[in-house]
Amino acid sequence: MREIIFDTETTGLDPATGERMVEIGCIEMVNRVSTGATFHAYFNPDIPMPAEAEAVHGLSDAFLADKPRFHERAEELLTFLGDAPLVAHNASFDFKFLNAELDICGLEAISTARMIDTIRIAKTRHPGAKLSLDALCTRYGIDRSHRTKHGALLDAELLAQLYVELTGGRQIGLELSAAQETTFAVEDMTIRRERVFRSARPHGASEDELRRHAEFLESLNSPLWKS
């Protein structure tokens, strides 16, 4: 199953007040394994970058001045996304900004039916725990030492590792059973993961091995089972 893990950086908290998206990072996964395919872009928002937002992600007006506008790469982004489920941390925030940018371009919004929110998954796994990306990475031992500021592609890479842990972790595929589909619900969202297993290798003693085993048993001196 193909899924896209993504993150955004913005000028603020609400596109309804005129805030814009300035960065998006996307990572392709197939069957919960990264394929190495990514989409990453910075955008000139055509509005000044607030100091508090720049302090979070480090993207300045000067840095973004020569970057393309969102509409210049929108079709390329949509082609990369395809029709795959889209995974994000606090996904409603990222969807809100992504769809606001698409609306400005006159393009169709992405359905929230495709949205998978890792915060909602984490909330069911760890009720009452801290649910920030940093806190969850610490919980699962995911190295984030290179993360000094927020960055869309870097955060998507961390989230991809976290998503695997939240939905089965490194144990995915170790179960010894026939092919099956595992389904679990997160509030009003249902996630399905297909698992394909190899059948156990046929094994059994050969006639020669059985003969030698019988000879060995006969050679034992007063075994308990003959008492």
**Helix (H) or strand (E) run with residue 217 in it:** helix 207-219
Strands 21-30 and 2-10: antiparallel
| Active site annotation includes 146 | no
pLDDT at 203: 63
User: Which residues face 28 on adjacent strands?
Assistant: 4
Please tell me the pTM assigned to this model. Answer: 0.74
pLDDT per position as a tens digit, 17-27: 999 999 999 99
**Under 8 Å between Cβ of 102 and 109:** yes
**Under 8 Å between Cβ of 41 and 23:** yes
**Helix (H) or strand (E) run with residue 152 in it:** helix 152-166
**Helix (H) or strand (E) run with residue 161 in it:** helix 152-166
| SS3 of 102-136 | HHHCCCCCCCHHHEEEHHHHHHHHCCCCCCCHHHH
pLDDT at 180: 43
Q: How far is CA 26 from CA 8, 88, 156, 191, in A?
A: 9, 10, 6, 20
pLDDT at 31: 94
Catalytic residue among 40, 150, 203, 213: 150
CATH placement of domain 2-175? 3.30.420.10
Low-confidence ranges of the chain (pLDDT < 50): 171-195
